[in-house]
């Protein structure tokens, strides 16, 4: 089945760019060597692997040696958290994170807590921001890791990772940030921002799914969680996925200033036209410290799931919470942590644009929202319009 419509779910995943696909193609059938092999096929694969590593490293001011290719954001987050936990358990077993992290952060930590580790889940403010002072206050002698996502996948709030990194560096605690949503959209400079570990992935930036990377600062005490042939400097065994790595590296060069500004304009048009044409809406997340493509809006008196399905029927794809949890009807833990009443969390819709969307699409989306929100409010038992 092919679905044609307006795609506003670019935080869940993005369309693979044609340039990415073209760059990947030769590595399936012509240049298919294993980079660990010593013959010509292997050497060619090794060369393109290292070129891709250099490209990714350059995007975050890292040394190529500090980039470990993985199968994506989930694996990178697991490697960062469990890898530090195993390697530094003699120093301590305390990990600090926030209540609004992606499940691929929260669940490895929960698993470690079952193994005897201790975790602190920091509160955030009404915009989803974590206070650097709070982080400083919670760091203890036995703290081994602070992990705070750069940009939240639901509401798009951008944390001040430079302040957080500085605090952790002064206190000599490893600082990890999950940058899956911000990579190539926001500045990441591992030196200036004092970052020890950074998670990146490819399918949020118009690259293929199933590939990502973990930046690990040289000298960081970390252990592998996957053991085998010793690939990726013994940090992640398994033959490297060369076509996808090439696609990932190509994708990392798609977004420039022009595309980012274009997305900001589309996002602002979407937000302002919704606010102008529909009463009782609320923008969730920070008004300015937010991703260039994220609009998360609550519609009072409306059930987000129903609205999302009605939009789907009109060819518009968006989501009610993160894609990972949109198949259950639990209130969003991100919005709840930001202090939103449970009944309001159910009315939230996440619309995330890409540089491939058009102004006409946004106009159509707003018109459809006006119609569908009106219909739902007319039958809503909680809407007293």
Mind telling me the catalytic residues? Answer: 324
Min dist CB 123 to ligand PLP, Å, is 19
Listed residue (321, 312, 320) closest to 368, CA to CA: 312
CA distance 121 to 21: 40
Using rule CB under 6 A, residue 296 touches ligand PLP: no
Q: Determine, following the binding rule CB under 6 A, whether residue 310 of this chain makes contact with ligand PLP.
A: no
Asked if 102 touches ligand PLP (CB under 6 A), the answer is: yes
Q: Does 153 bind ligand PLP (CB under 6 A)?
A: yes
Q: Which of 4, 34, 1, 10 is nearest to 354 (CA)?
A: 10
Q: How far is CA 111 from the centre of its chain?
A: 21
Question: Residue 10 or 281: which CB sits closer to ligand PLP?
Answer: 10
Find the binder of ligand PLP among 35, 132, 149, 304 (CB under 6 A): 149
Query: What is the DSSP-derived secondary structure letter of residue 131?
Result: P
* Closer to ligand PLP by Cβ: residue 45 or 334: 334
Within 10 angstroms of residue 328's Cβ, the number of other Cβ atoms is 8
DSSP conformation letters of 198-242: EEEESTTTTS-SS-EEEEE-TT-----SS-SS-TTTTTS-S---H
Determine contact, residues 8/365, Cβ cutoff 8 Å: yes
Question: How many residues can be counted in the chain?
Answer: 385
201 binds ligand PLP (CB under 6 A): yes
Structure-block tokens of residue 208: 């293929």
Strand partners of residue 7: 317
Interaction between residue 104 and ligand PLP (CB under 6 A): yes
Q: What single string gives the DSSP state of each residue in 110-128?
A: HHHHHTT-EEEEE---TTS
Among 35, 72, 108, 207, binds ligand PLP (CB under 6 A): 72
Specify the stretch interacting with ligand PLP by CB under 6 A; choose among 16-24, 178-186, 221-229, 373-381.
178-186
The least CB distance from residue 13 to ligand PLP, in Å, is 8
Report if residue 176 touches ligand PLP, rule: CB under 6 A.
Answer: no
Minimum CB distance to ligand PLP smaller for 77 or for 250: 77
By CB under 6 A, is residue 180 in contact with ligand PLP? yes
Which one, 291 or 373, has the nearer CB to ligand PLP?
A: 291
Tokens read off for 155: 């509401």
Instruction: Give the list of residues 6+ apart from residue 337 with CB closer than 8 angstroms, or none.
Output: 98, 99, 100, 123, 124, 128
Tell me the number of residues near ligand PLP by CB under 6 A: 15
Q: Considering only 1-9, 70-78, 92-100, 128-136, which stretch makes contact with ligand PLP by CB under 6 A?
A: 70-78
Kindly indicate which of the ranges 2-10, 37-45, 68-76, 234-242 contains the residues binding ligand PLP, using the contact rule CB under 6 A. Answer: 68-76
Q: Which of 128, 212, 247, 285 binds ligand PLP (CB under 6 A)?
A: 212
Binding site for ligand PLP (CB under 6 A): 72-74, 77, 102, 104, 149, 153, 178, 180-181, 201, 203, 212, 324
């Amino acid at each position: 089945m092919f679905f044609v419509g307006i795609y506003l779910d670019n935080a869940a995943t993005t369309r693979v760019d044609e340039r990415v696909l073209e760059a990947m193609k030769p590595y399936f059938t012509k240049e298919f060597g294993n980079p660990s092999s010593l013959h010509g096929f292997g050497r060619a694969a090794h060369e393109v692997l290292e070129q891709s590593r250099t490209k990714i490293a350059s995007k975050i001011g890292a040394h190529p040696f500090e980039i470990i290719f993985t199968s994506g954001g989930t694996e990178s987050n697991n490697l960062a958290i469990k890898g530090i936990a195993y390697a530094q358990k003699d120093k301590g077993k305390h990990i600090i994170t926030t209540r609004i992290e992606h499940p691929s952060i929260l669940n490895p930590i929960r698993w470690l807590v079952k193994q005897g580790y201790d975790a602190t889940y920091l509160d955030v403010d009404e915009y989803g921001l974590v206070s650097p002072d709070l982080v400083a206050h919670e760091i203890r002698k036995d703290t081994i890791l602070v992990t705070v996502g750069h940009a939240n996948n639901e509401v798009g709030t951008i944390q001040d990772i430079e302040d957080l990194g500085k605090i952790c560096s002064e206190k000599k605690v490893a600082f990890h940030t999950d940058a899956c949503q911000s990579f190539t959209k926001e500045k990441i400079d591992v030196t200036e921002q004092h970052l020890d570990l950074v998670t990146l992935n490819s399918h949020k930036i118009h690259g293929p799914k199933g590939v990502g990377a973990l930046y690990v600062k040289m000298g960081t005490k970390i252990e592998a969680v996957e053991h085998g042939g010793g690939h990726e400097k013994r940090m992640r065994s398994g033959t490297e996925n060369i076509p996808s790595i090439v696609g990932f590296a190509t994708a990392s060069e798609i977004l420039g200033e022009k595309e980012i500004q274009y997305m900001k304009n589309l996002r602002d048009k979407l937000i302002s036209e919704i606010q102008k044409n529909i009463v009782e809406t609320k923008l969730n997340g920070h008004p300015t410290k937010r991703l260039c493509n994220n609009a998360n809006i609550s519609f009072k008196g409306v059930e987000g799931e129903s609205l999302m399905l009605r939009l789907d029927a009109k060819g518009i794809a968006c989501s009610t919470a993160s894609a990972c949890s949109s198949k259950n009807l639990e209130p969003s833990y991100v919005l709840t942590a930001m202090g939103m009443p449970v009944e309001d969390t159910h009315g939230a819709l996440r619309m995330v644009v890409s540089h491939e969307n058009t102004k006409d699409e946004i106009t159509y989306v707003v018109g459809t929202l006006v119609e569908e929100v009106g219909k739902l409010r007319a039958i809503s038992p909680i809407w007293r319009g």
